[in-house]
Amino acid sequence: MTTRRKKIYEGKAKILYEGPEPGTLIQYFKDDATAFNDQKKAILEGKGVINNRISEYVMIKLNSIGVQNHLIRRLNLREQLIREVEIIPLEVVCRNVAAGSLSQRFGLPEGQALPRSVIEFYLKDDKLNNPMVAEEHITAFNWASTQEIDDMMALTLRVNDFLTGLFAGVGITLVDFKVEFGRLYENDFARVILADEISPDSCRLWDTQTNEKLDKDRFRRDMGDVIEGYTEVARRLGIMKEMPTVIQGGLH
């Protein structure tokens, strides 16, 4: 179905193909899971289908509150039609609760609430292992302008506020997440919009009652039942019923 299209870019979890019209692309969600910059790999059957649907659900909701993003519409189980943007080479992480690399860096116990939401920037460069960068580096090396940094921070906080509430409503704590942004060119003006995906691959999602992890940490930390965690997120969001029977039945 997708082979005849021109491949534009292949990442670890997604492929971008040429879209049907100029200014559009097709984003294909693979079942590949990687962690620690590709050192750990697996195929998690059905992951791409679930992430495609969860990310579509989240992006539509964000668009409805005025957070513009690249999604035009989901095409099928694994593909979305998206707007072509110039990806800003930064991973923007927002944290509400200490976990992962923040806990390691500052010796904070996982699960400790942070005094306020914290935003961090990482350079999107696998060869350098995505190093954390300061605003000074971002502007000095021209990865983004001061205005773009302000825009990304404001958008990330809106995403955080909205998603914190959305997940809280279904008994899930949004511990942290990573987003990426792109420039959408309109005449001579470039606007920063949300791109990439928002899914259990890019968020830490814990059951609020039990702190059970429902996200990619199940894979990173060899906890097992990775797809079951992702499926539980989809089920709580109310989008599991429409999944193909093969996924509803449970894949391992």
What residue ranges bind ligand TMP (CB under 6 A)?
A: 93, 99-102, 130, 176-178, 202-204
- For ligand ASP, which is the closer residue by CB, 36 or 189? 36
Q: Which residues bind ligand ASP (CB under 6 A)?
A: 12, 34-38, 216, 220
Which residue is nearest to ligand ASP, using beta carbons?
Answer: 34
For tokens 């969860």, name the residue: 54
Residue 223 has φ and ψ, to the nearest 5°, of -90, -10
**Number of neighbouring beta carbons within 10 Å of residue 199:** 27
Residue 101 interacts, among ligand TMP, ligand ASP, none and using kind-specific CB cut-offs from 5 to 8 Å, with ligand TMP
Residue 203 interacts, among ligand ASP, ligand TMP, none and using kind-specific CB cut-offs from 5 to 8 Å, with ligand TMP
Shortest reach from residue 5's CB to ligand ASP, in Å? 24
- For ligand ASP, which is the closer residue by CB, 184 or 199? 199
Shortest reach from residue 123's CB to ligand ASP, in Å? 13
Shortest reach from residue 24's CB to ligand TMP, in Å? 24
Q: What are the C-alpha distances in Å from 22 to residues 27, 84, 200?
A: 15, 8, 31
What is the spatial distance between Cα 148 and Cα 223, in angstroms, rounded to a whole number? 38
Q: Under a CB-based contact definition with an 8 Å cutoff, are residues 195 and 182 in contact?
A: yes
- For ligand ASP, which is the closer residue by CB, 216 or 218? 216
Shortest reach from residue 151's CB to ligand TMP, in Å? 20
Residue 34 interacts, among ligand TMP, ligand ASP, none and using kind-specific CB cut-offs from 5 to 8 Å, with ligand ASP
* 244 DSSP 8-state letter: -
Shortest reach from residue 216's CB to ligand ASP, in Å? 6
Residue 100 interacts, among ligand TMP, ligand ASP, none and using kind-specific CB cut-offs from 5 to 8 Å, with ligand TMP
What H or E segment, with its residue span, contains residue 205? strand 203-207
Burial of 149 (0-12, 13-18, 19+ CB in 10 A): buried
Q: Under a CB-based contact definition with an 8 Å cutoff, are residues 152 and 138 in contact?
A: no
- For ligand TMP, which is the closer residue by CB, 28 or 122? 122
Shortest reach from residue 94's CB to ligand ASP, in Å? 15
What is the spatial distance between Cα 98 and Cα 108, in angstroms, rounded to a whole number? 6
Q: Under a CB-based contact definition with an 8 Å cutoff, are residues 120 and 134 in contact?
A: no
- For ligand TMP, which is the closer residue by CB, 99 or 163? 99
- For ligand TMP, which is the closer residue by CB, 19 or 219? 219
For tokens 């930064």, name the residue: 90
Burial of 152 (0-12, 13-18, 19+ CB in 10 A): buried
